[in-house]
Amino acid sequence: MGRLYFSTVIVDRRKAPKYERLFRQTGPKVFFTALGSGTARGDVLDYLGLEKAEKTVYMFVTEEEEWQALKKELQRKMHIDAPGGGIGFTVPMSSIGGGGTLRFLISKEEYEKGEESTLKETAHELIVVISNRGYTDAVMDAARAAGAYGGTVISAKGTGMAQAEKFMGVSIAAEKEMVFIVTKTAQKNSIMKAVMTEVGAETKAQAIVFSLPVTDTAGLRLIED
């Protein structure tokens, strides 16, 4: 056991079925899927051997050892390191809103906490809220009441919900909305607590919340002022 990471894998949408089969066999039990598109310039695409194509974005939580094992499979079976293969990266997590959320995200009864991330002491944090679709306004109302300024919403579909339901004790819908909120670290706990209280797992929104350390920012002058 060890540190927890918020992991992201971005691949050509045409290859999505192969990646989903790999995840179901050897990867994370619960993962969230969103759609995207490449925006790199033509000369960059040529240099990297990439095509400007529609992308599939996979987001999930892994333990350090599990990510290393998955990384090997992505390289060996999916050839993610080859030109046009895709990209994967991880960000250490700093906090999670409750034990039920933790067990849901990693689909395990027990978790042995590892050493704290060296990135934890940062000026800002990214709060990630995952809720049932249609509850974004309620999520942001709760967050703003605790000091948040705004958020970014991404529509996503959850996979592995049925297997993970036992850790939350409720039926989990597959259609999700992810809200990204950047805030001062000092305000993080109050915002997360407000979200958990107003739209948490026991409400119709069934929101779960966790945070990631932000090492640098741009465009946050309003928050700083």
Q: Give the model confidence (pLDDT) of 138-161 as tens digits.
A: 999 999 999 998 888 899 998 877
E strands within the chain? 4-12, 31-37, 54-63, 87-92, 95-96, 124-132, 152-159, 175-184, 208-214
Do 97-111+122-224 and 4-92 fall under one CATH topology?
yes
Least confident piece of the model among 6-10, 15-19, 52-56:
52-56
pLDDT band at 43 (very low <50, low <70, confident <90, very high): low
Residue 116 has pLDDT above 60, yes or no: no
- 139's tokens: 């999520």
Residue 220 has pLDDT above 60, yes or no: no
Pick from 67, 86, 87: which is nearest to 23 by CA?
Answer: 67
Reported as a single tens digit per residue, the pLDDT across 174-191 is 789 999 998 889 999 999
User: Which class is 97-111+122-224 in CATH?
Assistant: alpha beta
Pick from 153, 148, 111, 112: which is nearest to 130 by CA?
Answer: 153
CATH number at 4-92: 3.30.70.120
Residue 144's pLDDT is 93
Query: For 68-94, what is the mean pLDDT?
Result: 87
Q: Is the pTM of this model over 0.85?
A: no
Residue 221's pLDDT is 46
Contact 85/14 with Cβ under 8 angstroms? no
Pick from 179, 168, 223: which is nearest to 201 by CA?
Answer: 168
Tell how strand 152-159 and strand 175-184 pair up.
Answer: antiparallel
Query: For 40-48, what is the mean pLDDT?
Result: 56
Q: Which residues pair with 152 in a beta bridge?
A: 180
C-alpha distances in Å from residue 165, one per residue of 81, 85, 195, 210, 225? 34, 33, 20, 18, 42
Per-domain residue ranges of the chain = 4-92, 97-111+122-224
In the chain, how many H helices and how many E strands? 8, 9
Residue 22's pLDDT is 93
- 163's tokens: 């297997």
What's the CA gap between 126 and 183, in Å, rounded? 7
